[in-house]
A = this chain, B = another copy of it.
Amino acid sequence: MSKPRKTPRPKAVTPKGFRDYFGADVSGRAAMLETIRAVYHRYGFDALETSAVETVEALGKFLPDVDRPNEGVFAWQESEEDGKGDWLALRYDLTAPLARVYAQHRNDLPTPYRRYAMGPVWRNEKPGPGRFRQFYQCDADTVGSASVAADAEICAMLADTLEAVGIERGDYVVRVNNRKVLNGVLETMGVQDAGQRDAVLRTIDKFDKVGEAGVRELLTTGRKDASGAFIDGVGLSDAQAAPVLAFLTSKAESADQTLENLRGAVGESATGAEGVTELEQIAALLDSQGYGPDRIVIDPSVVRGLGYYTGPVYEAELTFDILDEKGRKRQFGSVAGGGRYDDLVKRFIGQAVPATGVSIGVDRLLAALHAKGRAGTEEAGPVVVTVMDRNRMADYQAMAAELRQAGIRAEVYLGNPKNFGNQLKYADKRNSPVAVIAGSEEFERGVVQIKDLVLGAQIAQNATLEEWKERPSQFEAPRADLLARVREIVESRRE
């Protein structure tokens, strides 16, 4: 009678919405983060790294009296002894921690405080295909500057960063708008009620999909959608709807014309006029630095979801087509965004602190480079020193050490050496450029066999007999020449 197992084996699975990254995916992201970091640093931003964990109170998305405040974030309650029962949560972005840091350390920080931050953030959302609950952001913010020069600088830096990571000019555009313009439009429309205001904002977001006529219907009496279902309108009059339609259709060939159209859309609103003036200043600053409309444009359709923006908002969009999972062409879309948020620090200290900053979605940007075929998916593996004779382990290790000391990635095969075929299969799986082979006969004669694995694979695929003879993929060399001969092969691979 077999004994029943007491506890079933644990399942070896990543939690839903999380994933593992291997090899080139990890190093590719690390290289991109380093490239972005270098640009941010050169612009004068300093590093800041906060913990993954914040108090739910500091993150501030949630009411403290909710029983289990984990909608949107991963949250848990501290035990009474350690943390007085505080609710803690994983950060959902890098901006909320920055606001907390600035409020906490403001007396010791320079003003303005310019910092960059890179790292994962977590969202407790329903996972779906391609939607992950942990992803990387890479932010730069200037806290304590009310100048639009700070906004303009971030837009310029965003363009520089995209080019630095390999997005060519013409393949991206940074679009700039200003929340004050939109607020001016709402003022002119006479929309006071918060619910109605939100409904108008949601409708503006649909402009890309339903067009001018569709937005007019949605703002007023309602609209039949493609399926025939009737969507209730917001209930505005045609006159009320006019400014928002003027706003949405204000984008013109030139920035000057766009700005003039916006002046019309905001009517008598002082806030709106201020917003247009700021956009004008940003456009002038960028223009004088050579960031023309091929890179950065004023675009009134940029709304951006987050409610906390108070002034200029900006978004970087990749403009090339990719094929989606169903093989349909579509634009890649947004990879970065940000704007001015003057009230985030106020939550803590009761005093508004002007701030502006950008967040790059690093994983999306990597996916874009992959889609364009501009990101490496394979990494060169190590030179594999195979094991023909277990008792010669020290000699094999000495070979690997010699190669490493010369900066060549190398290792001794550490699996069971019995089946030599498995060793070559291993080298193949690791994408190794070279296998080194030495048995007792080679040791006696003071030589090694060197197998050029990349050439070997090429020859196997398409070489003629003459080429095969001329450039053999495996050859013998004196032990003393091991390093030189391996280096030749490895360096030719890099060309």
Measured between beta carbons, the chain B residues less than 8 angstroms from A350 are 9
Q: Is the CB of B47 within 8 A of A349?
A: no
Q: Is the CB of B9 within 8 A of A53?
A: no
Q: Is the CB of A46 within 8 A of B23?
A: yes
Q: Is the CB of A104 within 8 A of B12?
A: yes
Q: Is the CB of A103 within 8 A of B415?
A: no
Residues of A within 8 A of B (CB): 7, 9-23, 25-27, 29-30, 37, 41-44, 46-55, 57-58, 60, 64, 70, 74-76, 78-79, 81-83, 86, 88, 90, 100-101, 103-105, 110-112, 114, 120, 122, 124, 126-127, 133-134, 142, 144-147, 149-150, 152-153, 156, 284-285, 288-289, 347-350, 379, 381-382, 384, 393-394, 397-398, 400-401, 404, 407-412, 414-416, 426, 429-430
Q: Is the CB of A16 within 8 A of B82?
A: yes
Q: Is the CB of B126 within 8 A of A20?
A: no
Measured between beta carbons, the chain B residues less than 8 angstroms from A14 are 50-51, 54, 100, 104
Given A100-B12, A153-B412, A415-B145, are A284 and B47 also a contact pair (CB < 8 Å)? no
Measured between beta carbons, the chain B residues less than 8 angstroms from A114 are 411, 414
Measured between beta carbons, the chain B residues less than 8 angstroms from A58 are 10-13
A409 to B349, CA, bound (A): 32
Given A103-B12, A347-B10, A430-B110, are A410 and B44 also a contact pair (CB < 8 Å)? yes
A51 to B15, CA, bound (A): 9
Measured between beta carbons, the chain B residues less than 8 angstroms from A74 are 53, 76, 88
Q: Is the CB of A83 within 8 A of B16?
A: yes
Q: Look across to chain B and name the residue whose beta carbon is closest to the beta carbon of A55.
A: B15
Residue in B12, B55, B90, B397 whose beta carbon sits within 8 Å of that of A289 in the complex: B397
A400 to B79, CA, bound (A): 51
Given A12-B100, A58-B13, A414-B150, are A285 and B48 also a contact pair (CB < 8 Å)? no
